[in-house]
Amino acid sequence: MKRKAPHVAAAREALEEAGVVGQIGKDSIGSFSHRKLLKEGHAVVCEVQVFPLEVTHQRKTWPEKGKRRLQWLSPSKAARMVSEPVLGAIIRGLQKKS
């Protein structure tokens, strides 16, 4: 998302991918590297910044509804389910702030 502040882009992604809306933090709470496979078949390494979002509600419909399996989890269970170890640590850090 060009020309958008990173936290604004993160909030938009949360809406598009999970239909969630809320108060987004302006400061990243961590980052991790992710290997993304492109449609052309080659991969690029992306640096992903993570922003906290306090969800106020979830819309009934959103752009990518049905493309992913959506499940609400505790931070500890979510941290165990992600494949990126650094992301798991970031999620576990959220539990301590709750």
The answer to whether residue 61 sits within a structural domain is yes
Give the pairing type, strands 43-50 and 30-37: antiparallel
Nearest Cα neighbor of 30 from 86, 98, 97, 84 is 86
pLDDT grade for 95, boundaries at 50, 70 and 90: confident
The answer to whether residue 1 sits within a structural domain is no
List the end-to-end C-alpha distance of the chain, in Å, as a whole number: 30
Q: Domain containing 35 — which CATH number?
A: 3.90.79.10
Q: What is the pLDDT of residues 37-89, one digit of tens each?
A: 998 999 999 999 999 999 999 999 999 999 988 999 999 999 999 999 999 99
State mean pLDDT over 16-43. 95
- Calculated CA dihedral for residues 91, 52, 96, 88, nearest 10 degrees: 10
pLDDT of residue 94: 87
State which residues form the domain around 70.
6-97
Distance CA 4, CA 98 (A): 28
What is the pTM assigned to this prediction?
A: 0.85
pLDDT of residue 1: 55
Give me 56's structure tokens: 């106020």
